[in-house]
Amino acid sequence: ALAHLALVRYSPRPCHAWRAAVLRVFGATLGPNCHIYAGAKIWAPWNLICEDAVGIADGAVIYNPAPIRLGSHCVVSQDAYLCGATHDIDDPAFPMVSSPITLGPYAWICARAVVGPGIQVGEGAVLGLAGVATRDLQPWTVYGGVPARVLRKRQHHPMDNEQP
């Protein structure tokens, strides 16, 4: 917390490379061109794996006692919450139970949306404003609501380097 405050929280907005370097020092695996904003909170940098060109906005919370993997070109918007743990409510000791989360390439977790433990968000999937993913999200599909439900398919535009 002290390192975040001293090295990241008050860094100038365009200093993405600096914040990526600090996260790498604390064990994060980040591809090139990741834009992690100063107001993002990452609980365990050593459990964060980002491919290239990932964006994590101000106010986003990555609670990752288990690994969280963010695919290439995915976005976690303002105040979104990736929650990688819960508690065993049937055990009197109430132990924490953590599960990894994976966001596929080109996925978008919109502002104030929540992804629960163990969820897989498919390539190109969108979880809309304040949606809550309690089950896996299918590729190239738009979801919204609590719990998240399918709203429509998302148009997929293959990138120049993708095979047909």
CA distances to 6, 20, 32, 92, 149 from 68, rounded to whole Å, are: 24, 16, 17, 28, 23
Within 13 Å, how many C-alpha atoms sit on residue 127's CB side?
Answer: 35
Cβ-contact 117, 99 below 8 angstroms: yes
The pair of structure tokens assigned to 100 is 């990894």
- 29 contact partners, CB below 8 Å, separation of at least 6: 48, 49, 50
Catalytic residue among 4, 16, 87, 156: 87
Gap between the Cα atoms of 19 and 3, Å rounded: 11
Is residue 87 annotated as part of the catalytic site, yes or no?
Answer: yes
What amino acid positions are annotated as catalytic residues? 87
